[in-house]
């Protein structure tokens, strides 16, 4: 009976806590709704201001064109009106000469009038050739305004399902307990790396130059090789060779989404999708600009166009958005929760931007030299490799603090690419100056 009463009390306490949790959640949900509506209003204001600006530009062009041509026509009308008066005067003079002048007077007067009439005729011919042309004013809508591309939607409501904050569990002794979830933040001072694996490319594959690495959720490691052969080399999580995927273009970066590999090529200015199962090319597009850095942004692909901007493509390589952000010497990019992180290796900086291209924070540290590859964990902590400092460091989500995690001087010279696997919580490290790959567990 005592145990039964205790269980009833435990359940009552859990119900009370659950009710408090749901009431608090309803209040928070209301605030989220209001925040979303406010963002839609802000977006609408931005669109209205932009459309007002575009309308003014077009109307100014219409008014300027109309005013200029109207002035030209009015000038021609004034000229013709003056010449008409002159011709009427000549006509009156001729009538007077016919009625009153002698033959000699008629002859002399006619000569003078004939000269003037000839000049007027020549002027009139020139007016007819050069000053009677007409322009037709018309307005044609830009294709983007009628195709539905920008008018289809203002955006999408993103709904993230979070694990429950609390849960009811019953142990073997029938006691009720509440289990709290893990924190969504992790202090960078608590992060540690432990080497799990290092392996070297088999000699029968020839000399390689690994420009980028990517790790699939199932542990397969993709390496973009631009050495003796243009290819993607695939390794298992234990370092065993799985396959090679030959490429026609020199690869710069590689990512994977939904059974497809996406490869950028700086030299050929292309982005290519490849079916991972068949190893066959699905589609290739010309980017019109040299391109390199790739990142997976949700179910989309983010691509850097050198000295131009960042573009967003769907999985069919159809452009669906762009970020007006011009960067140089920025061959790496990663994405996390509507933010992009870009390493500027010549400036020795890392910049964090939102998806509209606005700078959120910038990081620089004297001990991290030649900032190159970037990777981000489940908590928003950013891993960076120092090409010249031969190091792996981690930067806090707000960009204010950093900590050196590894010195690779005796392990791997000049690291250029890192990738964090969010499932296995492992960090993959590679260099374009050797055939060695390192795998570290992150805890």
DSSP string, 215-255: E-TTS-EEEEEESSSEEEEEE-TTS-EEEEEE-SS---EEE
111 occurs within a structural domain: yes
Q: Which two tokens stand for residue 376?
A: 């981000």
Q: CB of 270 within 8 A of CB of 289?
A: no
- The model's confidence at residue 143, banded by pLDDT at 50, 70 and 90, is low
Residue 159: pLDDT band (50, 70, 90) is low
Residues 200 and 328 in one domain: yes
Q: Tell me: the pLDDT tens digits for 27-79? A: 888 888 888 888 888 888 888 888 888 888 888 888 888 888 888 888 888 87
Domain count, the chain: 2
Higher pLDDT, 195 or 129: 195
CB 420 within 8 A of CB 427: yes
Picking from 96, 124, 146, the residue at the C-terminal end of a domain is 146
Specify whether 229 is located in the same domain as 312: yes
Choose the most confident range, by mean pLDDT, from 48-57, 117-126, 212-221: 212-221
Q: Are residues 272 and 416 in the same domain?
A: yes
Instruction: Mark whether 106 and 192 lie in a shared domain.
Output: no
Beta bridge partners, 375, equal 383
Name the domain boundary from 83, 117, 146.
146
Whether 239 and 131 share a structural domain: no
Q: For residue range 382-403, what is the model confidence (pLDDT) as tens digits?
A: 999 988 888 999 999 999 999 9
DSSP 29-59: HHHHHHHHHHHHHHHHHHHHHHHHHHHHHHH
* pLDDT > 90 in the chain, percent: 38
Based on the fold, state whether residues 278 and 336 are members of the same structural domain.
yes
Establish if 107 belongs to a structural domain: yes
Distance CA 223, CA 432 (A): 10
Query: What is the rounded (10 degree) CA torsion for 257, 260, 264, 268?
Result: -160
pLDDT at 309: 92
What is the CATH classification number for the domain harbouring 246?
2.120.10.30
Kindly report which listed range (80-84, 171-175, 309-313) carries the lowest average pLDDT score: 171-175
Tell whether 156 is covered by a domain. no
Cα–Cα distance for residue pair 113/6, rounded to 1 Å: 128
Mean pLDDT of the chain: 83
Residue from 170, 192, 187, 188 nearest 179 by CA: 170
Residue-number span of the structural domain to which 31 is assigned: 2-146
Tell me, yes or no, whether 181 lies in a domain: no
Residues 122 and 216 in one domain: no
Q: What are phi and psi of 198, to 5 degrees?
A: -140, 140
CB atoms within 10 A of CB 411: 14
Residues 6 or more apart from 293 whose CB is under 8 A from it? 252, 253, 264, 303, 304, 330, 331, 332, 333, 342
C-alpha to C-alpha distance for 42 and 19, rounded to whole angstroms:
35
Length of the chain: 443
Predicted local distance difference test score (pLDDT) of residue 366: 85
Share of the chain above pLDDT 70, in %: 86
Residue 257 has pLDDT above 80, yes or no: yes
**Do 133 and 217 share a structural domain?**
no
Shared domain for 131 and 208, answered yes or no, is no
Residue 177, domain member (yes or no): no
Residue 108 is predicted with a pLDDT of 63
Co-location of 196 and 54 in the same domain: no
Residues 6+ apart with CB under 8 A from 117: 90
Within a domain: 174: no
Residues 421 and 276 in one domain: yes
Angle formed by the axes of helices 2-100 and 103-130, to 10°? 170
Contact yes or no for 128/69 (Cβ under 8 A): no
Residues 135 and 229 in one domain: no
pTM: 0.59
Domain boundary residue among 118, 146, 174?
146
Distance, in Å, from the CA atom of 28 to the CA atom of 156, rounded to the nearest integer, reads: 20
> Does the residue 401 lie in any domain?
yes
Inside any domain, residue 169 = no
């Amino acid at each position: 009976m005592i145990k039964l009463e205790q269980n009833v009390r435990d359940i009552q306490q859990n119900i009370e806590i659950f009710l408090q949790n749901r009431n608090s959640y309803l209040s928070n949900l209301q605030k989220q709704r209001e925040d979303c509506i406010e963002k839609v209003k802000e977006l609408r204001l931005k669109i209205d201001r932009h459309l007002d600006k575009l309308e003014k530009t077009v109307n100014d062009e219409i008014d300027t064109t109309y005013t200029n041509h109207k002035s030209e026509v009015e000038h021609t009308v004034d000229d013709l009106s003056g010449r008409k008066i002159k011709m009427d005067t000549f006509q009156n003079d001729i009538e007077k000469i016919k009625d009153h002048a002698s033959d000699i007077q008629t002859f002399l007067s006619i000569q003078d009038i004939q000269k003037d009439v000839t000049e007027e005729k020549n002027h009139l011919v020139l007016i007819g050739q050069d000053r009677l042309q007409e322009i037709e004013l018309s307005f044609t809508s830009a294709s983007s305004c009628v195709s539905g591309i920008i008018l289809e939607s203002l955006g999408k409501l993103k709904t993230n399902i979070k694990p429950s904050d609390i849960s009811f569990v019953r142990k073997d002794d029938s006691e009720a307990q509440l289990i709290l979830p893990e924190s969504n933040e992790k202090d960078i001072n608590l992060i540690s790396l432990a080497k799990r694996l290092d392996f070297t490319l088999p000699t029968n594959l020839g000399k390689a130059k690994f420009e980028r690495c990517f790790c699939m959720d199932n542990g397969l490691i993709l390496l973009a090789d631009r050495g003796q052969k243009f290819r993607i080399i695939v390794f298992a999580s234990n370092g065993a060779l799985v396959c090679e995927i030959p490429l026609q273009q020199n690869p710069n970066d590689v990512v994977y989404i939904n059974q497809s590999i996406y490869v950028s090529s700086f030299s050929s200015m292309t982005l290519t999708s490849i079916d991972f199962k068949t190893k066959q090319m699905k589609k290739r597009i010309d980017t019109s600009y040299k391109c390199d850095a790739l990142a997976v942004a949700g179910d989309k692909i983010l691509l850097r166009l050198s000295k131009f901007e960042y573009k967003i493509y769907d999985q069919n390589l159809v452009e669906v958005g762009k970020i007006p952000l011009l960067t140089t010497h920025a061959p790496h990019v990663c994405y996390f929760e509507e933010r992009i992180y870009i390493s500027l290796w010549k400036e020795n900086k890392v910049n964090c931007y939102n998806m509209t291209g606005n700078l959120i924070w910038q990081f620089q540290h004297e001990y991290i030299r030649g900032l190159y590859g970037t990777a981000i964990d489940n908590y928003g902590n950013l891993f960076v490799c120092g090409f010249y400092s031969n190091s792996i460091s981690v930067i806090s989500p707000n960009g204010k603090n950093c900590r050196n995690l590894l010195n690779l001087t005796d392990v791997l010279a000049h690291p250029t690419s890192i990738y964090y696997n969010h499932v296995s919580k492992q960090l993959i490290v590679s260099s374009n100056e050797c055939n060695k790959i390192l795998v570290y567990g992150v805890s």
